[in-house]
Amino acid sequence: MQQQHLKRLATLVLSKRIIHSNPNTTSSSPIAPQESIQWKPIPSKLSFSRRIALYQALSKSRLSSLITLTTMASYALSPITAATPPSSLTTLLATATGTFLCSASANTLNQIFEAPMDAQMSRTRTRPLARRAISTHHASVFATLSGLSGTAILATMVNPTTAVLGLSNLILYAFVYTPLKRISVINTWLGALVGGLPALMGSTAAGASLGHPASWLTAGLLYVWQFPHFNSLAHTLRRDYARAGYQMMANLHPAMNARVSLRYAIAAVPLSSWLVPYYGLTTTTFGLLSLIPNLALVLPAFRFWIATPHGPLSRKLLNSIAASNFLPLRSIALLTHSFQSKTRQEQEAKKLFWASLIHLPTLLILMMACRPSQSDYPPSSQDNPPTPSQLEPPRSM
């Protein structure tokens, strides 16, 4: 029995030596290498329905649809369409189609460049390129065709100015904003510019010139809205951004992130309550009604700012105030101390994010409801409609 046991032991040792010495022998370990988990083989064939689903994910169809809706809203709010007979439905549909395709191209290029970083973030690791559901070459072809067709539609069926704006926005987002995210926090301001340009496209598509103040007002509203919206979202995702190496205010300068959110939320008040009615995009009624959604955005932005440590009141200053003998100041310091916690920051950031989602559509709906009638503008002959430079917006305030 002892000899049989020794033979079995010798056979086992010999078999292990053979396995370790042979590089072609596969290990029976149940844990697969990290590369095989992250980078699965790309499917060679895709069904039609699967292709459509992947194209929707590459183009970020919900985001592209929102951008398209803001462009159409800006088109409808243009004073040119209010003072003259409505433009053809074909022009409006062409503007929407071209804008969506340009946005789809920009979003696809963004995912191509950021696939390695997307694979590291919990929010983006299920994107098609991050999980290798589609090849980079396939996505590149889709992005190229979308961008070229969108620009061509805007150039031939709308006007060259709108086409140039659409192409410029695509280039800014994919080739400037995307790499800048890993270099500097300035990317947030450039991203806000990219978010505001579609509104400018809608105004020029309706016939307004770039020199008309009304062309920039809706774009300006979208620009300032981007900061409380994105900064609050970035705060909840700051760990993911830090893991992927993105230079965001939320993970590098939290106090600055909250301060900028509040600053631009406040900037939306005079922009919509004074400048928009002054230049004739809406009646004076909108200036009063817009205070409601604007205050609904400013208040959570203020609470988010207060809840951020080292923001309005630093810990050192609070401690010195709390040690004073003046009871009201001590009470304020202790209250702020209790307000400044990580849990509270998360709560206030989420409240601000949801408030921003309600704020923008509410403001646009109010602008359309308070849009001036054609009688508020100078009468024009059907044969000789006024040009954008000839239009004088009513001075309501």
Q: How far apart are CA 15 and CA 17, in angstroms?
A: 5
Residue in the block written with tokens 């009201």: 328
CA angle, corner 297, sides to 293 and 298, nearest 5? 115
Tell me the per-residue pLDDT of 24-41, one tens digit each, with 9 for 90 and over.
433 333 333 333 334 555
Instruction: Find how far residue 47's CA is from the centre of its chain.
Output: 30
Mean pLDDT of all residues belonging to the chain: 80
Is 46:134 a contact under the CB 8 Å cutoff? yes
Residue 256 predicted with pLDDT over 90:
yes
Q: How far apart are CA 127 and CA 123, in angstroms?
A: 9
Residue 107: per-residue pLDDT: 97
Residue 395: per-residue pLDDT: 46
Confidence of residue 79 (pLDDT cuts 50, 70, 90): confident
Tokens of 285: 């009624």
Domains in the chain, start-ordered, CATH in brackets?
Answer: 47-209 (1.10.357.140), 212-374+393-397 (no CATH)
| Highest mean pLDDT pick, 51-60, 97-106, 334-343 | 97-106
DSSP labels for 148-213?
HHHHHHHHHHT-HHHHHHHHHHHHIIIIIIHHHTTT-TTHHHHHHHHHHHHHHHHHHHTT--TTSH
Confidence of residue 14 (pLDDT cuts 50, 70, 90): very low
For residues 47, 53, 55, 59, the Cα torsion angle rounded to the nearest 10 degrees is 180
Residue 87: per-residue pLDDT: 59
Is 202:95 a contact under the CB 8 Å cutoff? yes
- Sorted by sequence, the CB contacts under 8 Å of residue 376 that are 6+ apart come out as 82, 280, 283, 394
Q: How far apart are CA 289 and CA 267, in angstroms?
A: 16
Residue 171 predicted with pLDDT over 50:
yes
Nearest to 303 by CA among 232, 208, 385: 232
Main-chain phi, psi angles of 167, to 5 degrees: -65, -40
Residue 337 predicted with pLDDT over 70:
no
Tokens of 273: 């309550």
Confidence of residue 276 (pLDDT cuts 50, 70, 90): very high
Confidence of residue 343 (pLDDT cuts 50, 70, 90): confident
For the chain, the residue count is 397
- Residue 216 one-letter amino acid: W
Residue 326 predicted with pLDDT over 70:
no
Main-chain phi, psi angles of 95, to 5 degrees: -65, -45
Confidence of residue 371 (pLDDT cuts 50, 70, 90): confident
Task: Return the half-sphere exposure (C-beta side, CA atoms, 13 A cut-off) of residue 28.
Answer: 3
Residue 230 predicted with pLDDT over 60:
yes
Mean pLDDT, to the nearest integer, of 185-204? Answer: 94
Mean pLDDT, to the nearest integer, of 137-144? Answer: 95
